[in-house]
Structure 1
Amino acid sequence: MPRIICVAGARPNFMKVKPVMDALEARGAEVVLVHTGQHYDAAMNDVFFADLGLRPPDRHLGTGSGTHAEQTARVMTAFEPLVDELRPDAVVVVGDVTSTLACALVSAKAGVPVAHVEAGLRSRDWGMPEEVNRVVTDRLSELLFAPSPDGVDNLRAEGYHDDQIHLAGNVMIDTLYANLDRALASDVLHRHGLVPGEYALATMHRPANVDDAGMLTGLLNALGQIARELPVVLPVHPRTATRLEEVGLPDGIRLVPPAGYLDFIALQASARLVLTDSGGVQEETTALGVPCLTMRDSTERPITITEGTNLLVGRDPERIVSTARKVLADPPPKRAPSLWDGHAGARVADAILAYLEAPVRLRPTDSRESIAA
């Protein structure tokens, strides 16, 4: 059976890679889990691995933080000798973080087929580092697993071959459904004195929102106005915590420690409203049927708007507050996209193994030369 490297570099990757690993191993593949160490906080990593039942990584590259260039270079220089040593039949990368791009680039240069899980998502906002990562990773990949039909449409419009593109569904929702009962059994609401349906949950971590003091102040003031109507709970992301010390916190916003995976799902599931700048939270709230306001100017997950409970509200404080009041008065209907059914990982694994077993494969250069032309 084939040897397949699965790469995880940051906490959102853990939820995405787990269903794929499980499905590949259930089918007899040898799976090597590589943690690049892009997110390197031991306490947060440990709780996510424990919550997800994810086995310890087989290899930990320990690359740590740095500028985009420094981090990309560290991941590449650490991952390249590992690929040379293990000689995998394929490398699976997930999402759109720096590690995704770096490991895809190393694999492509080594002639190893790359499978990109969560392919085809586009915000068309080149100010987002993630947009660069996801577009380039797709270019480097032989197998492209889109979570929703808009991803398939994007890939076809960019010239990818139909035999590369697979509508797999959303692997994050696999993980959510697999752990939902355990999450709902969490005592996190009791610990923080919260009543189901009587609080809003907020998350902020993107540099565009938290690195600029004026922008962060405006967003916090919006949350403060919403907090006059119901409490706003804000788990403190490390990036945001540093900024909060600089700009101060309006009354009514309740800071809580960073939450593990199960606790955070429980907080989302019982919230009356979620406000976020996260991509994954847009998807999870859609699956949970919880209204979500995305405090960004663009989203790479438009299906959460057209077929979910998400609204893109931008970063204007007045618009955020007015939309929040409308949603609190009249919540959107609950709906979830097709194939967000808990079986995306199985579809990904089946397609990867079928590709590796095929007597004639798409050569790595075929798709790239076609697109370049």
Structure 2
Amino acid sequence: MVELNPNSLVGAQQVTPVLLVIGTRPEAIKMLPVVRALRQVPEVDLKVVTTGQHRQMLDQVFAVFGEKPDIDLDLMTPGQTLGDITCRVLKEMEALIAEHNPGLVMVHGDTTSAMAAAMAAFYVRVPIGHVEAGLRSHDIQRPWPEEYNRISIDAMAELLWAPTSTAVLNLRAERPAKHDTTRHIEVTGNSGIDALLHVAKGLEGDELASIDVALDPSKKLVLVTGHRRESFGGGFGRICDALVEIAKRGDAQIVYPVHLNPQVKQVVEERLGNTSAIHLIPPVDYVQMVALMQAAHVVLTDSGGIQEEAPALGKPVLVMREVTERPEAVATGVAQIVGTNVDGIVAAATRLLSEPDHYERRARKVFPYGDGTAAQKIAASVAAFVKKAQNSKDQAR
């Protein structure tokens, strides 16, 4: 008996396998709205792949969006180096691509796992789609190694979904349109705003009750996050010194969910653990983080995602880095680069805590990264891409 291939039947729905790779929690936050949108595209057989990094935090984010990974590579090992991550992701993704024969591999942002997954696809000539393409600090060392990773992914990708027009200009500057006939670049906004608005809408008001910290309603909440490799060592020491000075004011309380990386956790706990106005807490889930941002008076961060999210909530942001690949938020006046200099951090925070007029000018809801429809735009782009690819195959037969 001859078995018929359903895809060879006239009028049958053509389906293309697509692998979407998620490594860290920030990637999950921004990719899960895209996952939900792609689940509704009939031409796509989506497989969500996790590398196994940030396992506990990943599980929390997946639960928020009612999703589960289809494939877990379980690559997380204690003390792994960037080289370890690159080699293991590259090897495992190579095998996965051979097994599933995808028509597209999708990655997000600038992590080493995203770069290695893209490289695995590139080596076997499978098209790559890059969510959040075109971000640049224009300093290869800052953030490190993220700036290299995103440049590398963009050089390999065929579909580039840029969050802003500035990101498009960065891509075009690196490869002018007249020399770039194979790539599709599209401004979609940032899918992180999709995730933020989804979660903020569902907050019920008691999300902070589950956080093990006694907040004083009479004091202004300063929310801090910090984890960048470029600040390991002296940078984190200076950040800690600045936070101690801010805590001495008496009218502010600092909440710092401490990243699990030992090079962050050890320094922060040693330097800040005995300061009464500073609350060091374990990493919080994404819903709790959004609730903390909403409750905050000001946010101090080196996180890229929070530089996008806090402005959408109307919260002033002090960026504890020397450069940023997100200049759009700085241009609005809501975000300010303060570096890791003690005096710079303290002076900027003091103005926001002490000068109501200055605070009101900075505490405005702005949306330089989109209106919450990025995931739908990306899904539509993927649908058009797989249809075009399938039509080309049909014509070649």
TM-score, structure 1 as length reference: 0.90
The aligned residue for residue 340 of structure 1 is 370
Classify the secondary structure of the residue corresponding to 1:37: coil
The structural deviation recorded for 1:326 is: 1.6
Q: Distance in 1 between matches of 2:176 and 2:75?
A: 32
Please report the RMSD computed on the Cα atoms of aligned residues, expressed in angstroms: 2.1
Which has the higher mean CA deviation after the structures are superposed, 156-165 or 353-362? 353-362
Residues 1:47 and 2:51 aligned together: no
Classify the secondary structure of the residue corresponding to 1:201: strand
Deviations 1:217-236 (A, max 9, x none): 32112111212230011112
Within-5 A mapping of 1:218-233:
218-227=238-247, 228=249, 229-233=251-255
Classify the secondary structure of the residue corresponding to 2:39: helix
| 216 and 166 in structure 1: CA distance in 2 versus 1, 3 angstrom threshold | same
The structural deviation recorded for 1:361 is: 9.8
The structural deviation recorded for 1:96 is: 0.8
Which has the higher mean CA deviation after the structures are superposed, 27-36 or 155-164? 155-164
1:177 aligned to 197, 204, 218, which one? 197
| 323 and 135 in structure 1: CA distance in 2 versus 1, 3 angstrom threshold | same
Which has the higher mean CA deviation after the structures are superposed, 131-140 or 185-194? 185-194
The aligned residue for residue 83 of structure 2 is 69
Within-5 A mapping of 1:1-373:
1-28=15-42, 29-40=44-55, 43-53=56-66, 55-65=67-77, 66-127=80-141, 128-159=144-175, 161=177, 164-188=184-208, 191=211, 192-194=213-215, 195=217, 198-209=220-231, 211-212=232-233, 214-227=234-247, 228=249, 229-239=251-261, 240-249=264-273, 251=275, 252-307=277-332, 309-328=334-353, 329=355, 330-331=358-359, 332-337=362-367, 340-358=370-388
Q: Distance in 1 between matches of 2:100 and 2:176?
A: 29
The structural deviation recorded for 1:25 is: 1.4
The structural deviation recorded for 1:24 is: 1.4
Contact map agreement 1:114 1:141 (CA 8 A) in 2: yes
Gaps of 5+ in 1: 363-373
Contact map agreement 2:108 2:131 (CA 8 A) in 1: yes
The structural deviation recorded for 1:181 is: 2.6
Larger radius of gyration: 2
Which has the higher mean CA deviation after the structures are superposed, 169-178 or 323-332? 323-332
Q: Distance in 2 between matches of 1:179 and 1:341?
A: 14
Gaps of 5+ in 2: 1-14, 393-397
Contact map agreement 1:23 1:345 (CA 8 A) in 2: yes
Classify the secondary structure of the residue corresponding to 1:111: coil
The structural deviation recorded for 1:108 is: 1.1
Contact map agreement 1:286 1:310 (CA 8 A) in 2: yes
Letter in 2 for 1:60: D
Q: Distance in 1 between matches of 2:389 and 2:210?
A: 57
Contact map agreement 2:329 2:368 (CA 8 A) in 1: no
| 57 and 326 in structure 1: CA distance in 2 versus 1, 3 angstrom threshold | same
